[in-house]
Amino acid sequence: MEWIDDPSRGDWLRELLDAGAQSTQSVVPRGYDAYARVFHPAYLRSLPDRAVPTQAEYERMPDAERDALHGTYIDETTTWAQTAEAFGTTLHPLAQWQRLVRAPDGEDWRTRVAPDGREFTSPEEGSMPPELLASVASHLIAHTSTPDAGFAALWAGWGGLLGFMGQTPSRRFFSFDAPAHEQLLERSIHNPFEDDYRKKTWQPGILSEEISRGPRLQLPDREHVLFSAPPRAFADPDWILDAPWRDAEAEEHGFAPSAQHPSLIWPEDRAWVLVSEIDFDSTIVAGSAALVAEICADPAVEAMPVPADADLGWQGDEVNR
């Protein structure tokens, strides 16, 4: 995988997108035979002998009772189908999470407790686990004549990805020793206007200064950094180890290896496009009818076919209103 300093390699996408819409084709190019919606996994928390307390109930608990809860939670991933079953709703191609968990308008929909006492937390937006991407990619590489040549585009707005001219870094790794913390606190108290007069300097990101300052792929409402990336690489969950945008600095501070999920992946022959739009809790794959059928039939992938003009906005779920 290498950075591409000529983002025009992705210009064909811009010409086939409907800007400003909430349909599938606002993020996925027109003209493909079929589209699949891959649902990102949700998260489930339960207790072996009681219902999970709501946030309000937790805050009212005595400290001793709170402490007793810690270590007894069972945390695991779950599917949209299992979530719908728990809340008595219906999973369908245009289902929206907040409708699936019966969240009243204006209330928190990201974490909801089902009638059976289990707590469901919404899927991640803009990314899916490496294992799920690998399962999807195993089908993708079988439906292209160029499995070893393709592209990956990353949304330029991910925090810490690009360096920039500024006064303070976009991220910091603190060692939690008391003197350093106290110095930072004292500086923030006694110099509240310091940043207003501090000279801007280059604040490094995960990617190099050359890439950070380089040209970007311009798509409707989004800027992306473009890389060469063989689709076959993503069929291995360990693809992050070879990604040029791997977060080496975080690893130096003890974090596990990580790399941001690409926003778009496509092969050289453009036989399909995978799009993990940053605001969507599902990934869209455009390709042949055979490809979409395979993805939707894979038991390791929770996916459904969607129309080319599907409404993927929050109001698009008319079944679970």
Q: Say how many C-beta atoms besides its own lie within 10 A of residue 115's C-beta.
A: 10
pLDDT tens, residue by residue, 75-118: 899 999 999 999 999 999 999 999 999 998 888 889 999 998 89
Between vectors from CA 107 to CA 102 and to CA 110, what angle results, nearest 5°?
Answer: 70
- Residues 148-177, mean pLDDT to the nearest whole number: 76
Confidence of residue 142 (pLDDT cuts 50, 70, 90): very high
**Alpha carbon 272 to chain centroid distance?**
20
Question: Domain extents for the chain?
Answer: 2-40+126-163+204-316, 42-121, 166-203
Beginning with the edge strand found earlier in the chain, give each strand of the sheet holding 119-121 in spatial order.
74-78, 42-46, 119-121, 111-113
**What pLDDT is stored for residue 76 in this prediction?**
92
pLDDT tens, residue by residue, 254-286: 888 888 899 999 999 999 999 999 989 999 999
**What pLDDT is stored for residue 185 in this prediction?**
47
- Residues 206-232, mean pLDDT to the nearest whole number: 92
pTM: 0.84
Residue 135 near residue 300, CB atoms below 8 Å: yes
- Residues 160-183, mean pLDDT to the nearest whole number: 61
- Name the token pair of 73: 């939670």
pLDDT of 24 over the 70 cut: yes
Going from the C-alpha of 285 to that of each of 110, 139, 152, the distances in angstroms are: 25, 11, 14
Q: What is the mean pLDDT of the chain?
A: 86
Which position has the higher pLDDT, 21 or 40? Answer: 40
pLDDT of 153 over the 70 cut: yes
pLDDT of 191 over the 60 cut: no
- Residues 66-71, mean pLDDT to the nearest whole number: 74
- Residues 284-291, mean pLDDT to the nearest whole number: 97
